[in-house]
Amino acid sequence: MTDDQQPMSAFDAFGTWLRKDPEFEEAKRRLWAMTPDERVQAMRAGRLSLRLCLHWASRRPQEVPLLNGEWEFIAVSTPEVADAAEPPSQRERVTESLVRCPDRGRGRGDSAKQ
C-alpha cells in the first residue's frame, strides 16, 4: 500500500454499502403512490420485484396478504402451493396414506387374530 492509499475507516466502508440506487428509489416512490389494493394487485400481477415486495412487507406487513401463514409473494413459489392446483379430497388423502404406509392397516387385524 502506498502512502496515498489509506484504508477506509469503518464508517466510510459502511457508507459504501448504503449508497442509494436511483432506480430502486424511484420504484419505492411509485410503490407508495399506490393504494394498498393497488399494491396487492401489482404483486399478484408480477409487477413488483422481490426486493420491492420485501421493502413493502418490512414497512407495512399488515397489508401483505398471507397464504398458509406466509407472505403470499413468498408462498406462491413454495412447492406446497405451486404444486397444489386444488386440495386433495378425503379419499385421495386416505389412499395416499395407505400407499405410503401399507402395513398400518394390516397390523390391527393381524394382532386381533392372535
Domain residue limits, the chain:
20-113
Give percent of the chain above pLDDT 90.
Answer: 41
Checking if the pLDDT of 54 tops 50, the result is: yes
Checking if the pLDDT of 15 tops 50, the result is: yes
Checking if the pLDDT of 55 tops 60, the result is: yes
What's this model's pTM, rounded to 2 decimal places? Answer: 0.59
Q: Over the chain, what HEC string results? A: CCCCCCCCCHHHHHHHHCCCCHHHHHHHHHHHHCCHHHHHHHHHCCCCCHHHHHHHHHHCHHHCCEECCEEHHHHCCCHHHHCCCCCCCHHHHHHHHHHHCHHHHHHHHHHHHC
Checking if the pLDDT of 38 tops 70, the result is: yes
